[in-house]
Copies of this chain bind each other. A is one copy, B any other.
């Protein structure tokens, strides 16, 4: 008699959560130092020192009623102006504070966008491998999830498959670059090609297709030659969803934003719909103190050197051992092909050596596994011999 769908969502443990619980149990049995848990995308490096300093300074300087009081629903004006200004300078897009809406993190950014845009019967495309919660968010908005597999060699969009998947019911497409779970970063050419396709299709159908760019890993880039561009430059109907969780190592604080492309025709109406969706879902405003923290620390990052070291160490070791991996230019995940083609079987074999991964099935991409390398480098180093034994077991 209660809402069955909500019950199922709350009762069904995600497989990431299952692995997490297993890791806890196993740690109690053999010691946490002997369990190599690569299942969780939880930042492992502290927030930048300036962040806690900012909190203390704000508490000292700002009257309590102002600091901890309601902000307007879309966020404090100063906060939005500061962040939009930084974005405009960095990405060359004339974003203003009035196009920015502060949210309780990436999940909120996505659900608010989806509830702002979608009507029952709409379709939203995601490109596999994709973050599993996209299904929950899209279906929660009343729309239908359409999954299009990426190119198996590059894990970039398979444009021919994508073209076939776009219908007159397509309301949007969610892209996620740097990608969870693959670490792949879309370059400018990929974004331009995507923009051309969406423009052609929406023109042909006389519809609007929104590009929802989910960018929580935007700052986690490890090579100088990897340039992150704003899709706003190439496609007017773009909404950028951002979260400070990964860049500032504060995933529990729930702070992020939605930016509406200043080049969007009728962007005002979309912004209003975002305000309305936030209201309907129960987001009164993003947490007030952390709005100010985000504005003050926008552009800073936690020490990403650890992730880069881990990325290099793990990618080099595993490819040398014979595993097939996609070179991850960003985020903190390595996507590895299951040697026998069955990702769950691969995860079980790894588990016997105390190595815990997430099967790609959870990301709509069977046959691969995700290894989250946001761990201490020392632990990663100690895990490498077990990877080597695993490779040997497979005869790689």
Contact = CB atoms under 8 A, between A and B. Distances in A.
Interface of A: 1-11, 42-47, 52, 55-56, 59, 63-65, 67-71, 104-105, 107-112, 115-119, 133, 136-137, 139-140, 171, 207-208, 249-254, 269-290
Nearest to A69: B252
A390 B47 CA distance: 56
A115 B6 contact: yes
A220 to B, nearest CB: 16
Given A6-B273, A55-B55, 16 more contacts: A6-B116, A7-B269, A7-B272, A9-B279, A10-B277, A46-B65, A47-B64, A67-B252, A69-B251, A104-B104, A107-B282, A107-B284, A108-B282, A111-B281, A254-B286, A281-B282
Contacts of A44: 65
B10 A274 contact: yes
Nearest to A266: B2
Given A115-B3, A251-B68, A252-B289, A280 B9 contact: yes
Closest 6 CB pairs of A and B: A252-B288, A9-B276, A10-B276, A111-B282, A10-B275, A46-B64
A59 B250 CA distance: 13
A111 B112 CA distance: 14
Contacts of A10: 116, 271-279
A7 B110 CA distance: 16
A7 B280 CA distance: 11
Given A1-B208, A273-B2, A137 B69 contact: no
B8 A276 contact: yes
Count of this chain's copies in the oligomeric assembly:
2
A385 B121 CA distance: 59
Nearest to A120: B3
Nearest to A137: B282
Contacts of A104: 104, 254, 282-284, 287
Given A6-B116, A271-B10, A272-B10, A287 B284 contact: no
Contacts of A119: 3-4
A253 B283 contact: no
B68 A273 contact: no
A272 B8 CA distance: 8
B46 A5 contact: no
Given A10-B275, A55-B59, A269-B2, A254 B285 contact: yes
Contact of A6 (B71, B280, B282, B286): B280
- Residue with the greatest number of chain B CB neighbours at <10 A, chosen from A6, A107, A279, A289: A6
Given A137-B282, A283-B107, A42 B70 contact: yes
Contacts of A8: 276
Nearest to A133: B279
Contact of A3 (B108, B118, B251, B253): B118
Contacts of A279: 9-10, 133, 136
Given A10-B276, A42-B69, A68-B47, A281 B140 contact: yes
- Residue with the greatest number of chain B CB neighbours at <10 A, chosen from A10, A107, A269, A271: A10
B70 A52 contact: no
A207 B9 contact: no
